[in-house]
């Protein structure tokens, strides 16, 4: 990898609960810095979608790990293709998101996707978002951010997002789903969602996307100024 090893490439890890806005923030930060972007949640959603389409039960950890290990996936700009089918919008459904949360709780599935995630770390840098980017996938990340907001705020944001895409949504159902996914993600035995040491907490309840992006960029600039990069 040129004259740089993966340890030399700056990584910004943005973790947080469902619908916290971390994906949009991470994408915009990556674009501002000219870095690569990893949406780790998409990989788990893809694994869940592929499993459901193959008739595999979401409680069959070994079968799910095989699906995860052999995903035929291509990320091309803003498009995500599974077995050469554009599934960019399909994997954003609530059904797929809830299934992904269950799939992601299995150690064998997480192990199957680990190296695939780390392969996204390329020059000049990477912004990665997920649940365990800073704690497990990129523990040496130059900047770790835990981005969150109240469950009610996140439900409102998800509702607006789904309505804009023409998908049916119910606020009460979304709020319940978010709370259940928070509990599942925080209490799983492997790589639970949590605020780790050295991680900056960023509550976006009262911030818009641009403000959140600016906060992350400022944190990165401060680290750069200290000569850590």
Residue 19 marked in a binding site: yes
Residue 10 marked in a binding site: no
Residue 18 marked in a binding site: yes
Residue 224 marked in a binding site: no
Residue 139 marked in a binding site: no
Residue 20 marked in a binding site: yes
d(CA 64, CA 116): 16
Residue 165 marked in a binding site: no
Known binding-site positions for ATP: 16-24
Known binding-site positions: 16-24
């Amino acid at each position: 990898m040129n004259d740089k090893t993966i340890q030399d490439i700056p990584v910004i890890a943005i973790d947080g609960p469902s619908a916290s806005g971390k994906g949009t923030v991470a994408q915009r930060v990556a674009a501002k810095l000219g870095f690569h972007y990893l949406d780790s949640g998409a990989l788990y959603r893809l694994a869940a979608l592929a499993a459901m389409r193959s008739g595999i039960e979401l409680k069959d950890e070994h079968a799910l790990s095989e699906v995860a290990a052999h995903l035929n996936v291509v990320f091309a700009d803003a498009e995500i293709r599974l077995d050469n089918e554009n599934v960019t919008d399909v994997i954003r459904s609530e059904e797929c998101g809830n299934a992904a949360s269950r799939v992601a709780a299995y150690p064998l599935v997480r192990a199957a996707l680990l190296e695939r995630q780390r392969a996204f770390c390329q020059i000049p840098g990477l912004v990665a978002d997920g649940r365990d980017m800073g704690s497990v996938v990129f523990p040496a990340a130059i900047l770790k951010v835990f981005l969150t907001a109240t469950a009610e705020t996140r439900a409102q944001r998800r509702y607006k997002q789904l309505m804009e895409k023409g998908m049916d949504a119910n606020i009460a159902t979304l709020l319940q789903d978010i709370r259940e996914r928070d509990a599942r993600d925080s209490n799983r035995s492997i790589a639970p969602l949590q605020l780790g040491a050295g991680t900056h907490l960023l509550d976006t309840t009262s911030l818009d996307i641009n403000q959140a992006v600016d906060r992350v960029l400022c944190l990165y600039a401060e680290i750069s100024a200290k000569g850590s990069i």
